[in-house]
Amino acid sequence: MGRSLAGSDVPTRGLGERILIVDDEPEIRSLLDRYLSGEGFEVISVSGAVACKQFLEQQTVELAIVDLGLGGGEDGLALTRWLRERFSFGIIILTGKNDALDRVIGLEMGADDYVGKPFLPRELLARMRSVLRRVQEVEPSHALEQMCFRVDGITVDLQARKVTGRQGSQVHLTSTEFELLATLMRGRNNPISRDQLLEGVFGRGWSPFDRSIDVHVANLRRKIEIDPKNPEIIKTVRGTGYVLVGPVEVMSQPLPA
């Protein structure tokens, strides 16, 4: 099983991927500790933002699961923003079933995905594996992944998972934002439905009240569009989804490091 940290105690690293749970409910921490440890993960659980930051001063993780309803001190939304500003690991937020606004704000703060409480552990595990797949370095599976693309001055290197802006500076995307951009780039000039995007990026189907794709697209537009309110790269296809419009230049050489 994992370990609940008090103060600055730090466990030794195990063989599995390291997961940090930040939740002020002991029952939730205990449930996730038992379940995820049984799935082969190394689990560290803390009750609040202070302990979370203390741990990350000394160690790192592959994924953090953050409850937005943290009581006392810094709340989950502020902690999510703090984590995203400093780390590139995956972030999944836990929210109340009716906290739709908090889910949207959490995604805007940089979370990769969300799970509503109460939840089935197997649902959380599926979301975790989807986020971890996007965060981890993987070998390119076909020739397309070894190419670079340029559209409207933005260059995307699929193999290096690197995006360069119009002035030559790196554009910092979350793993979810990059995978979303790559999916749209692969299907350039062809509308891609929200359902296809959710399946390709998150590994799940779309539901009428799921706004996660729309929030991630909005975040992506703010980073790559000259005028995010009047986008020229990622267009909305009303009633369907989104399309990345050309002309797109395909380059076989990777970007310089």
Q: Does residue 35 carry a pLDDT above 60?
A: yes
CA dihedral 254, 86, 134, 241 (to 10 degrees): -90
Q: What is the mean pLDDT of the chain?
A: 83
Q: Judge whether residue 30 has pLDDT over 90.
A: yes
Beta strands (DSSP E) in the chain are: 3-4, 18-22, 42-46, 63-67, 90-96, 113-117, 148-151, 154-157, 162-164, 192-193, 234-237, 241-244, 249-251
Section 58-70 average pLDDT: 92
Element (H, E) at 222: helix 212-224
Residue 7 scores a pLDDT above 60: no
Give Cα separations from 230 to 131, 195, 209 (angstroms).
Answer: 29, 24, 24
Domain boundaries of the chain, sorted by first residue: 3-135, 143-251
> Which pLDDT score is estimated for 221?
95
Confidence of residue 140 (pLDDT cuts 50, 70, 90): very low
Domains 3-135 and 143-251 share a fold: no
Digit-coded pLDDT (tens) for 189-209: 889 988 888 877 777 665 666
pLDDT digits (tens, 9 = 90+) for 77-86: 999 999 988 8
CATH number of the domain located at residue range(s) 143-251 in this protein: 1.10.10.10
Cα–Cα–Cα angle for 135, 140, 216, rounded to 5 degrees = 40
pLDDT over 50 at 53, yes or no:
yes
The whole-number pLDDT of residue 8 equals 34
Q: Report which of residues 178 and 134 the model is more confident about.
A: 178
Q: Cα dihedral angle (201, 207, 209, 215), rounded to 10 degrees?
A: 10
User: What does the pLDDT read at residue 175?
Assistant: 83
Predicted pLDDT at 118 = 86
**Dihedral, CA atoms, 141, 144, 148, 149, nearest 10 degrees?**
-140
Q: What is the mean pLDDT of residues 206-230?
A: 86
10 compared with 169, residue with greater pLDDT:
169
Is it true that the peptide bond before 118 is cis, omega within 30 degrees of 0? yes
Q: Which fold has domain 3-135?
A: Rossmann fold (3.40.50)
This prediction's pTM: 0.66
